A and B are shown apart, each in its own frame.
Chain A
Amino acid sequence: MSQLRRRTWIIAFLSLSALLAAGCGAGKPPILNIGGDFTLTDQNGMPFQLSSLRGNVVLVFFGYTSCPDACPTTMSKLASVYRSLGADASRVKTLYISVDTQRDTPPVLKEYLTNFKTVDAVGLTGTVPQIDKVTGLFGAQYEITPMPGMPASHNMYNVAHTTSVYALDSEGKTRFVFDYDATVAQMTEGIREIL
Chain B
Amino acid sequence: MNIHKSQGRLANSIWSLVAVVCFAILSAAAHAQTPELIVKEAWARVPLAPQNNTAVYMMIDNPTATAKAIVAVSTPDAGSSDLHEMRTEGKMMKMIPLKSLPVPAKGSVELKPGGFHIMCNDLKKTLKPGDTINLVLKLDDGKTIPVTATVRALEDSSAPASGEHSMPMPEHHQ
How close is B53's CB to chain A, nearest CB, in angstroms?
6
Q: A184-B164, A184-B166 are in contact. Are A76 and B171 (CB under 8 A)?
A: yes
Contact string against B for A residues 137-168, beta-carbon threshold 8 Å, 1 for contact and 0 otherwise: 00111110101100000001010111110000
Q: Which residue of B lies closest to A161 (CB)?
A: B92
CA distance A76 to B48 in the complex (A): 11
Q: A76-B158, A162-B91, A180-B160 are in contact. Are A148 and B97 (CB under 8 A)?
A: yes
Q: A76-B158, A141-B91, A141-B92 are in contact. Are A69 and B86 (CB under 8 A)?
A: yes
Number of A-B contacts (CB under 8 A): 122
Q: Which residue of A lies closest to B120 (CB)?
A: A68
Contact B158–A70 (Cβ < 8 Å): no
Q: A68-B53, A72-B157, A115-B49 are in contact. Are A161 and B93 (CB under 8 A)?
A: yes
Contact string against B for A residues 60-91, beta-carbon threshold 8 Å, 1 for contact and 0 otherwise: 00000110111011101101100110000000
Contact B158–A80 (Cβ < 8 Å): yes
Contact A183–B162 (Cβ < 8 Å): yes
Say if the beta carbon of B40 comes within 8 Å of chain A. Answer: no
Q: A72-B154, A76-B158 are in contact. Are A66 and B51 (CB under 8 A)?
A: yes
How close is A183's CB to chain B, nearest CB, in angstroms?
5
Contact A65–B51 (Cβ < 8 Å): yes
Contact string against A for B residues 50-94, beta-carbon threshold 8 Å, 1 for contact and 0 otherwise: 110111000000000000000000000000000010101111111
How close is B161's CB to chain A, nearest CB, in angstroms?
7
CA distance A80 to B114 in the complex (A): 17
Contact B91–A108 (Cβ < 8 Å): no
* Chain A CB within 10 A, most for which of B48, B89, B166: B48
CA distance A184 to B167 in the complex (A): 9
Q: Which residue of B lies closest to A147 (CB)?
A: B97
Chain A interface residue bracket vs B: 35 or more
Contact A108–B86 (Cβ < 8 Å): no
How many B residues have CB within 8 A of the partner chain?
39
CB-contact partner of A117 in B55, B91, B95, B171, under 8 A? B171
Interface class of chain B by DSSP: loop
Say if the beta carbon of B5 comes within 8 Å of chain A. Answer: no
| Cβ contacts under 8 Å, A37 to chain B | none
Q: A76-B154, A76-B157 are in contact. Are A69 and B48 (CB under 8 A)?
A: no
| Cβ contacts under 8 Å, A70 to chain B | 86, 93, 113-114
Contact string against B for A residues 104-131, beta-carbon threshold 8 Å, 1 for contact and 0 otherwise: 0000100110111110000000000000
| Cβ contacts under 8 Å, B48 to chain A | 65, 72, 112, 115
| Cβ contacts under 8 Å, B119 to chain A | 68
Contact A77–B91 (Cβ < 8 Å): no
How close is B158's CB to chain A, nearest CB, in angstroms?
3
Contact B92–A69 (Cβ < 8 Å): no
Contact B95–A180 (Cβ < 8 Å): no
Contact B53–A66 (Cβ < 8 Å): yes
Q: A79-B171, A80-B167 are in contact. Are A180 and B51 (CB under 8 A)?
A: no
Q: Which residue of B lies closest to A68 (CB)?
A: B55
Contact B161–A180 (Cβ < 8 Å): yes
Q: Which residue of A lies closest to B164 (CB)?
A: A183
CB-contact partner of A73 in B49, B94, B155, B158, under 8 A? B158
Q: Known A-B contacts: A84-B167, A147-B97. Give 11 more (CB < 8 A).
A: A65-B51, A66-B51, A80-B167, A111-B49, A115-B48, A115-B154, A143-B94, A148-B97, A164-B91, A181-B162, A184-B167
